[in-house]
Amino acid sequence: MESKNRRPSESRSIIDSACSKRYIIAVMGFIGIANAYAMRSVLSVAITEMVEDIHRTAIDPNGCPGPLKTANTTNPNAEFDWSETLQGHILGAFYYGYVIAQIPGGILAQKYGGKHVFGVGIFLTAVLTLLTPLAARIGPAYIIGVRVLEGVGEGPTIPAMNALLAQWVPISERSRIGSFVFAGNMIGTIVAQSSAGYLLKITDDNWPLVFYACGVVGLIWYVFWNLLVYSSPNEHPTITDYELAYLERNLKGVNKNKNTLKSTPWLSMLSSGPMWGLMIGQIAHDWALFMINADLPKYMKSVMKFSIAETGVWSSMPHVLMWVFAILTGWLSDYLITNGKLGILQQRRLFSTIACIGPMLGTLAASYAGCDKLKVVVLFTIGMATMGFFYSSMKVNVMDLSPNYAGPAMAMVNGVGAVAGIVSPPLIGYLIPNNTLLEWRNVFWISGGVVIVANSIYLVLASASIQWWNDPVPTSETDDGDTDL
């Protein structure tokens, strides 16, 4: 067997790169996050067919023409007469559990590693997704309870994935691998919304099937996750000598011996300006993303008068281009940083700003595009595509600040950002009691204001240097001074 201290040949390095364990983990993480977002977002499409159209005879003077529905044409499988406000509370209930589980999830990921915390979270969410139809039929309080528990299941997943990637991904690959993995949320949303619309169409709006399909896929993924993924390179039984040596040389700021790490420095994190910048900046992204995930299908059906199949397809289109942009900008980020075109901090600030301004302009423009369906879809799609810049900037910024405590740090950032998921669905439900175009336009203006203010605070406080509280013991070693250029 080749010694770990022996320098491998160039041909060996090429072979090893092709089957690198970190890439397998990245692919499995991508699919896992896709599953998580599919399970959380499928309700946003299904609910349009679960609930009776209580505004079926209302006329919006500024709205788009469509068939006038009567009681005889209402979907016969629509079992519930939930108001817009109640629907907002049901859609937003997920985020109560999601916020609560962030810090415990980060602590567990820090202590036990990212593999099991991430995997168990997806497994629990899959089981609860299978139970959603039953809960809805028992009563609104029960589906709200299931959605809260789903949030508890998914809450630890992002902190756990950050902890996992911090152990596996060198800084030179952080933007592209990080953006690839976290871009799974867009693929999950795309698959959930488009397939849900198609399933509803071919099964005559048999809405429980969409939940059963998502839940089963999540359970199958969990089996492969347990077989293929390990929390750190040293734990992997079949990692090559070449890749292990490469990671040991290039994992910047990571302490290999978890036993020497001090307890999580929560107070130091809370007193850290860059951490506050990240937490507030995350609100900007999450507000826009959660609004589109939860409420765009409702806008497409109620205002634009798309059919259910069209609603699923066109609601997923912004996520398709967002995913493409996330992957391309990940490669672009690493190129710009590696070749000295931009400093790390410059790249984080620039790309996060594009990711905030683009969606704001796109959604506003779409609300002023009238009833031209093609134009509305194009504007929504282009605007939301720019959110792909977020995944190679603010989303990986936590690992810049603290590779050792990436899990707990991301728990704080993601938890604060997820407050937007608690606030925005009920607020939107309150602002659109009649689902009219003008009501929706007000929603987009308010959302744009939130996004701009939050991102501006991030720009002022952001950093890309490893923070002093990352080190388990005091050290004279500091981070490269040019990272914040």
Instruction: Name the CA dihedral angle for 272, 394, 176, 351, rounded to a multiple of 10 degrees.
Output: -130
Please check the confidence at residue 82 and state whether its pLDDT lies above 50: yes
Cα–Cα dist 152/168, whole Å = 26
Cα–Cα dist 175/403, whole Å = 14
Please check the confidence at residue 374 and state whether its pLDDT lies above 90: no
Please state the rounded mean pLDDT for residues 72-89.
72
Give the pLDDT band of residue 288 (cuts 50, 70, 90).
Answer: confident
Distance of CA 227 to the CA centre of its chain: 24
pLDDT digits (tens, 9 = 90+) for 14-67: 444 446 888 999 999 999 999 998 998 888 878 878 887 654 445 666 667 665
Say which range, 60-64, 408-412, 464-468, has the weakest mean pLDDT: 60-64
Q: Are 182 and 286 in contact (CB under 8 A)?
A: no
Q: Supply the pLDDT for residue 11.
A: 40
Q: Are 393 and 352 in contact (CB under 8 A)?
A: yes
Cα–Cα dist 53/309, whole Å = 17
Cα–Cα dist 204/81, whole Å = 19
Give the pLDDT band of residue 310 (cuts 50, 70, 90).
Answer: low
Q: Supply the pLDDT for residue 3.
A: 38
Give the pLDDT band of residue 477 (cuts 50, 70, 90).
Answer: very low
Say which range, 133-142, 236-245, 464-473, has the weakest mean pLDDT: 464-473
Q: Supply the pLDDT for residue 396.
A: 82
Please check the confidence at residue 224 and state whether its pLDDT lies above 80: yes
Q: Are 283 and 417 in contact (CB under 8 A)?
A: yes
Q: Are 72 and 451 in contact (CB under 8 A)?
A: no
Ramachandran assignment for 20, one of left (phi > 0), alpha (psi -120 to 50 degrees), beta (any other) = beta
**At which residue do the structure tokens 């606030």 appear?**
423
**At which residue do the structure tokens 């439900």 appear?**
429
Q: Supply the pLDDT for residue 301.
A: 73
Q: Give the pTM.
A: 0.69
Please state the rounded mean pLDDT for residues 85-100.
86
Cα–Cα nearest to 320, from 378, 244, 403: 378
Q: Are 160 and 408 in contact (CB under 8 A)?
A: no
In one-letter notation, the amino acid at residue 229 is V
Q: Which two tokens stand for residue 381?
A: 């799609």
Q: Supply the pLDDT for residue 478.
A: 39
Q: Higher pLDDT residue, 414 or 66?
A: 414
Please check the confidence at residue 222 and state whether its pLDDT lies above 90: yes
